[in-house]
Amino acid sequence: MENTVELRGVSKVYRQNALAVPALTDVDLDIPRKDFLCLSGPSGSGKSTLLNLIGGLDRPTAGTITVDGRRVDALGKAELAELRLRHIGFVFQAYNLIPVLSARENVEFVMQLQGRPAAERRERAYDILKEVGLTGLEDRRPGELSGGQQQRVAVARAIVSEPSLVLADEPTANLDSRTAESLMQLLAHMNGEHGVTFIFSTHDKLVMDFSRRLIKLHDGRIVGDERRA
DSSP for 168-188? Answer: EESTTTTS-HHHHHHHHHHHH
Q: Mean of the per-residue pLDDT values for the chain?
A: 90
Residue 7 DSSP label: E
Does position 204 have pLDDT exceeding 70, yes or no? Answer: yes
Strands (E), 33-160: 36-40, 62-67, 70-71, 88-91
- Give Cα separations from 195 to 15, 34, 153 (angstroms): 38, 5, 19
Mean pLDDT of 179-195: 87
Q: Find the range with the poorest average confidence among 3-12, 32-41, 189-198, 208-217.
A: 189-198
Distance of alpha carbon 68 from alpha carbon 75, whole angstroms: 13
Q: What does the pLDDT read at residue 1?
A: 52
- Of 217, 183, 221, give the one whose Cα is nearest residue 22: 221
What is the C-alpha separation between 155 and 147, in angstroms, rounded?
12
Whether the pTM exceeds 0.75: the reply is yes
CATH number of 34-55+82-227: 3.40.50.300
Q: Could you tell me the pLDDT band of residue 44, with boundaries at 50, 70 and 90?
A: confident
CA angle 201, 229, 222 (to 5 degrees): 40
Q: Could you tell me which of 37, 9, 12 has the C-alpha nearest to residue 215?
A: 37
What whole-number distance in Å separates Cα of residue 63 and Cα of residue 166?
22
* C-beta separation of 220 from 41 below 8 A: no
pLDDT of residue 32: 94
Question: Please, are residues 102 and 134 in contact by the beta-carbon 8 Å criterion?
Answer: no
Please tell me the distance from the alpha carbon of residue 123 to that of residue 37, in angstroms, as a whole number. Answer: 31
* Rounded Cα gap, residues 228 and 36, in angstroms: 10
Arithmetic mean of pLDDT, 64-88:
91
- Helix crossing, 103-113 with 147-159: angle to 10°? 20
User: Model confidence over 131-149: pLDDT tens digits?
Assistant: 888 899 999 999 999 988 9
All residues at 6 or more sequence positions from 131 whose CB lies less than 8 Å from its CB, including other chains: 156
Integer-rounded Cα Rg, in Å, for the chain is: 17
